[in-house]
Amino acid sequence: MRNTLIVVILLAVSGLTGGCNGIKPQNRTVTATIANASTHELNGVRFECSGRYLRAGILSPNIDATIFDVSWPTATDVKVTFIDRQTRRPYSISISLVSVNEQVQAGKCHHVTIRILDYNKAEAVCE
């Protein structure tokens, strides 16, 4: 009986510490900045990913908004949406996060900047 109990305990402990099968990698947290690097006044600026949003509100040219302790998504394609404040026209820009995600998940990047460059161009970079 004692030997059986020892074997059961050893199996339980090795099952808890022996492998990572079935364990999902946790999202890392970063500081995220959404920057308006365009010449346009933008309203309703937000970064959309898998049903989650980071909101930056109104961003004048060369202004940014920083959000701390963001659980960084593992999705590779996201959108930045905004409305031109003067014309009231909405815009949506797709951004690839493949390179940024690799760096964040490797622990090499703790600050991500999403930079809006124009109505149809944006980028995400690690800093």
The whole-number average pLDDT for the span 43-47 is 95
Return the SS3 of 120: coil
Say what the pLDDT of residue 25 is.
52
pLDDT in tens, 3-30: 444 443 444 444 444 444 444 556 789 9
pTM of the full structure: 0.76
Average pLDDT of the chain, as a whole number: 83
